[in-house]
Structure 1
Amino acid sequence: MVWRLLIDEFEQSGLTQAEFCAQRELNAKYFSLRRMKLKAQPGSTGFTQAVVEKSQVTDQVTLHYGAVTVKLPASNAQTIAQLVKALAA
């Protein structure tokens, strides 16, 4: 579970893998190996949960990724698709 938390922290950090590992005194090659193994596990699709919420103002799509929450108008499907594509890269 510690590795999952570290990898989630890395993916949200905006740092390169080398920078992230150097700051935490981690072996970058071993970190990369653990990251690949966790991503290859069944149920680890790399996708996050998206929830369409009804609000009084308008329909919204709420994306949860770790500690980050993004709310977007559900009517703008193209923007949402572009965001999900960028996050998956």
Structure 2
Amino acid sequence: MKKYRTKSDWLALIDEFEQSGLTQAEFCAQRGLNAKYFSLRRMKLKAQPESSGFTQAVASKPQVTDQVTLHYGAVTVKLPASNAQTIAQLVKALVA
């Protein structure tokens, strides 16, 4: 019956091999492993980046604009964004 090995089992075996000082053939023979399969697993697992289990989030900078664009019916008005009070008064006048 074949033994099922998890990814962490294989990583531990690979680490043990790398610390052993043995050739791959010697290491596999001592543990009853198929050397070709061990080589394949080692190559595939070493090619994968190690995952910490976390995803890195990168914050993007908000876009800063110098103007506010108002659409009212068919009219579009662009105003400097620096004067919020004037913009609020204009919106109130348009809605009223």
Please report the TM-score for the alignment, with normalisation by the length of structure 1: 0.47
Largest Rg, 1 or 2: 2
Higher relative contact order (CA 8 A, sep 6+): 1
TM-score, L = length of structure 2? 0.44
The structure richer in strand per residue is 1
